[in-house]
Amino acid sequence: MSALLVAALAAGGAALVVMGILLRGRERERALEEILDLPWGERDVPSEAIEARAAFVSTTVGMASRIVEQFDAKGSLRQALERARLPVRPGEYVVIVGSAGLGTGAVLYLLTRHWLLGVAALLLSPLGGSFYLRYRMRRRRKQFEAQLPDALTLIAGSLSAGHTFLRAIQLLCEEAPPPLQEEFARVVYETQLGDPIVDALERMAVRVEVRDVEWVVQAIRVQQTVGGKLADLLHTLADFIRAREEVRREVDVLTAEGRISAYVLGALPVILLILISLGNPHYMTPMYRGWGYVWLGGTALSIAIGMTIILNMVRKIEV
């Protein structure tokens, strides 16, 4: 038991050291960003102070970055990190996910004395990292959708008071909470660099992946072409988005049981396997040889298929 505690503490300490070194580097980058006053997305500034990290961490992150560049030429991971608002580079995120998977696998092996559970935890760590990214993006998207109607109302009020459209967005950035403030602040930065404001809003719509923002941008583009009162248009759009948000919440309530069922049915066999292995390590020994691997693989596959079917059923409803 003491050896197990020492191993767990050692694994946790190593993970904390890696995280501390990475976070220290990010703090130096953030300080340099504040000095240079650069917007989000323009922050990769080479500097000796930024790269002053431990040699083994720098080498590992550099190797992971090269691997990501080879297998992700389109930059999907970088875009996902940006949309999730995680202040790490793709290589750093890969190292963090790999370290978490390695530490979890080591702890499971030490607790259960079955190497298969440790290997499974290590192999499933990319899925866990991907799930966490999607969770962050989905949560941020929902926050943006909830804040958008009030933002449109505030912009419309500023326009009615005599401010320009750009000035109304700047006032919104001073009062709105994140993530709305962060995205509209980027729009202001892009317009200060010479971009048309509608084009900057269109890029924001692509970045946040919110259909309501796409409709707002299209309506503003049409209004600038044919004319009319932009304040009245934004008031109408705000009321329409609020009505859609109410319907969307009702759908979420009605489909909550299906989502919870999928998560419970998917997690229950895994939790039972771990608890049985902890309580009686020899009970599951026949499953770790011969045809036992086939049955375990078939069980894992059936769980994944069942969760996919249930989640697709409850997520097919779009508002």
pLDDT of 4 reads 47
pLDDT of 83 reads 82
The mean per-residue pLDDT over the stretch 235-252 comes to 88
The mean per-residue pLDDT over the stretch 291-318 comes to 82
Residue 237 has pLDDT above 80, yes or no: yes
Phi first, then psi, for residue 102 (nearest 5°) are: -65, -45
- 1, 117, 291, 292, 301 from 283: Cα distances, Å: 20, 15, 16, 13, 22
Q: What is the CATH number of domain 140-245?
A: 1.20.81
pLDDT of 96 reads 84
- In terms of average pLDDT, the best of 26-40, 44-58, 231-245, 269-283 is 231-245
Handedness of CA 3, 97, 182, 34 (dihedral sign): positive
**What is the domain partition of the chain in residue ranges?**
1-113, 140-245, 255-319
- pLDDT tens string 98-156: 888 888 888 877 777 777 777 777 788 888 888 888 888 889 988 898 899 999 999 99
pLDDT of 15 reads 55
**pLDDT grade, residue 16 (50/70/90)?**
low
pLDDT of 153 reads 92
Give which of 196, 195, 172, 167 is closest to 182, Cα–Cα.
Answer: 172
pLDDT of 191 reads 92
- CA triplet 237, 241, 247: central angle to 5 degrees? 150
The mean per-residue pLDDT over the stretch 31-51 comes to 50
pLDDT of 67 reads 74
Q: Are 205 and 141 in contact (CB under 8 A)?
A: no
pLDDT of 47 reads 46
pLDDT of 290 reads 78
pTM greater than 0.75 (yes/no): no
The mean per-residue pLDDT over the stretch 198-214 comes to 88
- pLDDT tens string 155-175: 999 998 888 888 999 988 888
**pLDDT grade, residue 52 (50/70/90)?**
very low
